[in-house]
Amino acid sequence: MITNTVYVYRAFERFWHWSQALLIMFLALTGFEIHGSITFFGFEDAVAYHNVAAYALIILIVFAIFWHLTTGEWRQYIPSLTHVRAYMNYYVFGIFRNEPHPTRKTVLTKLNPLQKLVYFGLKTLIIPGMLITGLLYIFYRYPQRHGIEALNIESLEIIAVLHTAGAFLLLGFLIVHLYLMTTGESVFSNLRAMLTGYEQLHEEEEDQDVNIVIVSAPTTEKQS
């Protein structure tokens, strides 16, 4: 099948992806030390590093929102239920039988329907939830520092539970994300694309803005 090398991920997109990934992993490391699950930096340093990384993530998110709005890339994340069942079948059965992906990737449709749903949930629920509970944590944890002594410190519990639950969800996402990263055209093709920006896409799909349903019989060749 004819493929073309296409510039899929732009410079800022790659920078945002990798810096967000590093910051979330670092926040997980320091966060779970604060939680008491692991020991690495020591509690006090973990708290200090967690706060710095959290502010860095917030700044990155502001730039990323601006970039998505100005480039129109936010449209990539509009979820749709079309082909979701086909993808669930694919990830449970098809992938182990070397079947092709139910739809093909294009520059204007980088995410498959299942990814759209998951990323949409991450961007509208999990990340804002972490941000809001994290900021509440910062400002409620030390009420005397911010002059809000009147607030009941007991109410921190629900914030801590929600923040920790979000951290577990993000950790789960990270593990699944790393596995799915290896299921592209080859084990490293998705990783290479997010590092270099370039990816091998099938020629005829480059400039279409809808997912194409593959109707041919399964082949042994994997699609991306």
Contact residues toward ligand HEM (CB under 6 A) are 24, 27-28, 31-32, 34-35, 47, 50, 54, 57-58, 130-131, 134-135, 137-138, 141, 160, 163-164, 167, 170
Of 25 and 108, which CB lies nearer to ligand HEM in the complex structure? 25
Helices (H) and strands (E) in the chain, counts: 7, 2
3-state secondary structure of 103: strand
Least spacing, CB of residue 172 vs ligand HEM, in Å: 10
Report the alpha-carbon distance of residue 27 to residue 15 in Å, rounded. Answer: 18
> CB-based contacts of 111: which residues, under 8 Å, 6+ apart?
76, 77, 119
Of 22 and 213, which CB lies nearer to ligand HEM in the complex structure? 22
Of 8 and 24, which CB lies nearer to ligand HEM in the complex structure? 24
Least spacing, CB of residue 201 vs ligand HEM, in Å: 32
Please give the single-letter amino acid code of residue 10.
R
Of 158 and 187, which CB lies nearer to ligand HEM in the complex structure? 158
Backbone angles phi and psi of 149, in degrees to 5:
-60, -25
Closest CA to 100 of 1, 210, 188: 1
Least spacing, CB of residue 159 vs ligand HEM, in Å: 8
Of 118 and 167, which CB lies nearer to ligand HEM in the complex structure? 167
Least spacing, CB of residue 124 vs ligand HEM, in Å: 15
Least spacing, CB of residue 132 vs ligand HEM, in Å: 9
What letter would DSSP give residue 216?
S
3-state secondary structure of 209: coil
